[in-house]
Structure 1
Amino acid sequence: MANVRYTQEKRIQVAEYVLDGRYSASVASKVFGIGVNTVCRWVNRLCEKRGLPCYRAERKGRRRESTRARLKELVRRNRRLEKQLAQARETAEILKAIPVHLYSTTRFKCEAIHEKRDCFPVSRMCEALGVRLASYYQWIRAEARRAERRERERALADVVIRVFEENRRTYGCRRMKVALANEGVDVSEYRIRRIMHENGLYPVARRRWRPYRKGTCDSMYSENILQREFLPDALNKVWAGDITYIATSFGWLYLAVVIDLCNKEIVGYRLSRNIESEIVVEALGSAFARRGVHEGLVFHSDRGPQYSSRRYRTMLAENKAVPSMSAPGCPYDNACVESFFACLKTELLYRRKYSCMEEVESDIFDYIEAFYNRRRLHSTLGYLSPVEYRLKRLAA
């Protein structure tokens, strides 16, 4: 760059541009064609005249302060990340020791936390398992009350066992209530029955003789109108129903079905945990809702208490249906429904283990609605499915 002499006014003007912040020293150097060091020297001279700090020293000071601030922020951030990493590792160790999928309820989670309280902090385990700390301590207090209740229950069970053995294992729950009251123990008959059942205390008693019911009918039962005529000549002329038991890992379930014997179609069914009259009423109600009311319809069933209940008989009367029942102790009179239950259990239920009711409901719905009624071929129907046979009859 050629040596050029600048006037004092020009030097002050360039220095003021830099001090005012319009340009930095490097930008002013490019704009005016002057070296960076020269610009900085002019700025420093103007700073000395005005009593300001040195331009270069101020920039270095600001750079050092900025560097210190960044270092402090990085240190804080590093500490925060290290803390989060330590918490994540601790959470991983907690979840490894307490698999969440095995403890689905709050009670099970609290039991696991209480068991591992010497290995991990309780607050960290609660956070990892999604349990409020207050809920855990509430469970602790409730568990203490439950432990006291269990201790009282064990003491009462010992008294019940002693009294039962002293009376030669012949007392039932009613006499046990009186015997315990004589010893100053006031407890309900229901509680005595439960304790005896839990401890296997069954009184020795003679079995009551019951005469075999003959074929004559009374007001509870109906005549056998069907007489094993399982091939009616029209749809909605004869329906048959029954209840079967389904064994699961969480107890017994009960399935009631209604079959149209003309095309072997399941027109109504109901799955329940309770074997009460409600199950057959709802199954029959679903059948009427699907097929409608047909005067003179014969509904055949066995002599179970559900089918002799007042609600069931009233529903048949309201829908103009005629009840028919099998002979006492004769399953062959309802063999058509028993045959369906055999197919259901062989083709579906015996091939799976169920752990919840939703699985059973889903499988039975899929088997009846998607497979049995619409796809499964029946030899008695000319190897047609029930729905195909019904549509063929309606189209004829």
Structure 2
Amino acid sequence: MIKWLSISKTSYFRWIKQSLHPRPQSELEKALFQICQQSSYITTDGKRKRRLGYRVVHQKLIDLKFKINSKTVLKLMHQFGLLSQRIHHKPQYYYDLAVQKENNLKNLIQNNYHATRPFEKLCTDITYIPFGKNNQKLFVSAIMDLYNREIIGYNISKIADVDFVISTLKAISTLTNPCILHCDRASVYTSKRYQTELKANNLINSFSAKAMPTDNACMEPFWANMKRETIHYEKMQNLGEQQIIEIITDYIEYYNMYRKMKVLNYLSPKEFKTKNIN
């Protein structure tokens, strides 16, 4: 049949998979379908990919005055093929508390990621994104305000050196009140130049324990979600540097403005800040 229709196997089996899912009938089903469609990620080759979890979709339906259980939403999303990719968490490793005290790099956060006001506690981290056919990399550095989980500064570069993280730091304004900035123990963060910049910006450094990514438990999920909701859908070997930059920039704007989170009572970072600060 595939030869007779003159189509590829990929196109044929994609059509078969799509035809297995029923079409929405009720007003509830249509609303659910529309929510997922409007929040989809469009890949560089025009494909629509899902990125909302069922809990966020459930809250959006509640906001629209539908009375429905979250498990029913999960069932319907599975039925209509609307589920997003799952994050596969890496195993967590735990070390002796004495490790946290070495080199006098203190952990001032101590897994307390709650902040009562903006610029009380910030965290920062670096990730990289491979692309192209020659194993190229782009590094992304970002700073998050723990008050509303907003990305308040970021930088993209081919080189992850001290200048790179200092440029990220300069994306935020000089603070009038002391503020904690939490990060891991990467050499760029422990360098004298970076420490000097922190003091000049009224920032107090806090460090994760050695080999403990869970001590920076807000940045790690952000990176995971960014990749899961965008680049994991792309054929990275076919993308260029500018395309990667556009994907990252667009996602951070989307995240700050529209991505609702359970920790923010299902508001986006901007919505949470607007609602709670007069």
TM-score, scaled relative to structure 1:
0.43
* SS in structure 2 of the partner of residue 328 of structure 1: coil
Matched, 1:228 2:111: yes
Structure with greater strand share of residues: 2
Q: Residue 285 of structure 1 aligns with which residue?
A: 170
Q: Residue 161 of structure 2 aligns with which residue?
A: 276
Q: Residue 308 of structure 1 aligns with which residue?
A: 190
The structure whose RCO (Cα within 8 Å, separation 6+) is larger is: 2
1:243/1:255 contact within 8 Å kept: yes
Matches of 2:204 and 2:115 in 1, distance apart?
15
CA RMSD of aligned residues (A): 1.4
**Cα displacement (A) at 1:217:** 3.4
Q: Residue 217 of structure 1 aligns with which residue?
A: 102
**Cα displacement (A) at 1:284:** 1.3
Letter in 1 for 2:101: T
Cα distance per residue 1:218-277 (max 9 Å; x no partner): 2xx630000010111111100000001111114111111100011000001111101111
1:236/1:294 contact within 8 Å kept: no
Distance 1:353 1:278, change over 3 A: farther
Question: Number of matched residues?
Answer: 177
* SS in structure 2 of the partner of residue 373 of structure 1: helix
Aligned equivalent of 2:272, options 359, 372, 389: 389
Superposition misfits of 4+ residues, deviation over 3 angstroms: none
Matched, 1:346 2:228: yes
Q: Residue 379 of structure 1 aligns with which residue?
A: 262
Letter in 1 for 2:177: E
Aligned pairs (5 A) from 1:34-113: none
2:100/2:208 contact within 8 Å kept: no
**Cα displacement (A) at 1:351:** 1.1
Matches of 1:300 and 1:215 in 2, distance apart?
14
Distance 1:228 1:248, change over 3 A: same
Matches of 1:325 and 1:301 in 2, distance apart?
5
Letter in 2 for 1:360: I
Aligned equivalent of 1:255, options 140, 148, 157: 140
Matches of 1:215 and 1:228 in 2, distance apart?
13
Aligned equivalent of 2:204, options 296, 303, 322: 322
2:182/2:206 contact within 8 Å kept: yes
Q: Residue 120 of structure 1 aligns with which residue?
A: none
Matches of 1:287 and 1:348 in 2, distance apart?
26
Matches of 1:214 and 1:387 in 2, distance apart?
37
Matched, 1:368 2:256: no
1:294/1:321 contact within 8 Å kept: no
Q: Residue 142 of structure 1 aligns with which residue?
A: none
Q: Residue 358 of structure 1 aligns with which residue?
A: 242
**Cα displacement (A) at 1:360:** 0.9
Unpaired segments ≥5 residues, structure 2: 1-97
Unpaired segments ≥5 residues, structure 1: 1-212
**Cα displacement (A) at 1:214:** 2.9
Q: Which has the larger radius of gyration?
A: 1
Aligned pairs (5 A) from 1:150-229: 214-218=99-103, 222-229=105-112
Q: How high is the sequence identity, in percent, across the aligned residues? A: 32
**Cα displacement (A) at 1:350:** 0.9
2:123/2:144 contact within 8 Å kept: yes
Structure with greater helix share of residues: 1
1:241/1:258 contact within 8 Å kept: yes
* SS in structure 1 of the partner of residue 190 of structure 2: coil
Letter in 1 for 2:202: K
**Cα displacement (A) at 1:216:** 2.4
**Cα displacement (A) at 1:215:** 2.7
